[in-house]
Amino acid sequence: MNKILKHTILWLVIYIAYTAMLSINEDLYQIMILNILHVFLYVLAYYFLRYVQIPFLYDKAKKWQFVLSIILSSIILFGLWRFGLKLLDGVRGIESESHYIPLADYLVKVIRFYSPAMALLAIEFHFEGKKEKQRVRQLEKEKLSNELKFLKAQINPHFLFNTLNNLYSSILSDSPSAPDMILRLSSILDYVLYKSQNNTVSITEEINTIENFIILEKIRYGERLEIDFQKNIKHNGPISPLLLLSLIENAFKYGTSGDIDEPKISIEINEERERLTCQVWNMKSKYSGKLFDQDKKENGLEKLKRQLQLVYPKKHELVIEENETSFEVTLIINKI
């Protein structure tokens, strides 16, 4: 239904409604003729206000010109009403009224002329405002969605580079671990590049990827690295992908530096119906303070914080505890 047809139907409904209300104690035929004039003036008041006075005066902050235009247009409308009424009086066989125009009569008529216009504008602006809010919300949602996708897509190139190097070395030495490394790396990439684009995944899917990641890191560091990984999954509920993996990857990045002779990392994941808790502890390099300051913008924890704000606003807690020898991060996600 196009706009012209909608407006035609609207004014027809207004005409019928006004005629029905005013004809209760009056002659229906007389009111029908009189309301043709009234609705015509309502239409003039609305369209002149909507498409001339508001956009060209009010919206451009020409408030005094806007007020003067309202006064002038109301006088013109009142004059048209008086002129039209004389013509209709002849059609209806009624003697015309006096030329005297009381101020009260003028004010009442002006209010009556602009009442439908103001009501229609209020409804129209309400729906336009609602539509604009929906548009802004949609744009914000798309912006946050794109930002979240960008965060998800940022696989640690350092990890990938070292894993490929280890894989290359294993293939050259005909290591029996090479095929397993390829499968695990392929599984991680499939999860990071494709499955992580979903809004949620099951916790077991995230943990499977974490386990593949840990095994590859164990192959990389050998006996030098000690890892304690504990998990207690009761309900296997949904979770935003890459949250836990990012947290654990950050521990490996900063907790396995070359100056740490025997690095240790402890991971504990507990999932219940109402809450998910992930605690990650790692040893700390004596250079970690300087490294952290230099790499602060690229730190995985900063990306993790932003991701948590996007997907779990006011439903998460991230606690960071640091001392001279260790670094511990506790993530709590409230599902309810």
Same-domain pairing of 47 and 19: yes
Same-domain pairing of 94 and 168: no
End residue of a domain, out of 78, 100, 134:
134
Burial (CB count within 10 angstroms: exposed 0-12, middle 13-18, buried 19+), residue 290: exposed
Same-domain pairing of 168 and 130: no
- Using CA of residue 31, residue 37, residue 39, residue 42, what is the dihedral sign? negative
What would the pLDDT profile of 34-80 be if each residue is shown by its tens digit? 888 889 999 999 999 999 999 899 888 888 999 999 989 988 988 88
In the chain, the number of structural domains is 2
pLDDT mean over 311-320: 90
Q: What's the pLDDT score for residue 86?
A: 80
Q: What's the pLDDT score for residue 321?
A: 92
Name the band, by pLDDT with cuts 50, 70 and 90, for residue 292: very low
259: part of which helix (H) or strand (E)?
none
Q: Is residue 77 part of a domain?
A: yes
Q: What's the pLDDT score for residue 298?
A: 46
Same-domain pairing of 102 and 7: yes
Same-domain pairing of 186 and 293: yes
Name the band, by pLDDT with cuts 50, 70 and 90, for residue 297: very low
Q: Is residue 144 part of a domain?
A: no
* pLDDT over threshold 90, residue 266: yes
DSSP assignment of 286-326 equals TTHHHHHHHTGGG-HHHHHHHHHHHHSTTSEEEEEEE-SSE
Q: What's the pLDDT score for residue 278?
A: 96
Same-domain pairing of 125 and 160: no
Same-domain pairing of 43 and 187: no
The residue ranking higher by pLDDT, 50 or 88, is 50
What would the pLDDT profile of 136-174 be if each residue is shown by its tens digit? 777 676 666 666 666 666 655 666 777 787 778 778 877
Place of tokens 């001279």: 324
Q: Is residue 261 part of a domain?
A: yes
Same-domain pairing of 319 and 172: yes
Q: Is residue 327 part of a domain?
A: yes
End residue of a domain, out of 88, 104, 134:
134
* pLDDT over threshold 90, residue 227: yes
Name the band, by pLDDT with cuts 50, 70 and 90, for residue 296: very low
Q: What's the pLDDT score for residue 146?
A: 66
The residue ranking higher by pLDDT, 296 or 89, is 89
Q: Is 242:200 a contact under the CB 8 Å cutoff?
A: no
Q: What's the pLDDT score for residue 331?
A: 95
Q: Is residue 140 part of a domain?
A: no
- Which range marks the domain in which residue 259 is found? 153-334
Same-domain pairing of 62 and 201: no
Residue 158 backbone class (left: φ over 0; alpha: ψ -120 to 50; beta: rest)? alpha
Same-domain pairing of 163 and 278: yes
Q: What is the mean pLDDT of the chain?
A: 82
* pLDDT over threshold 60, residue 219: yes
What would the pLDDT profile of 180-201 be if each residue is shown by its tens digit? 888 988 898 888 878 888 888 9
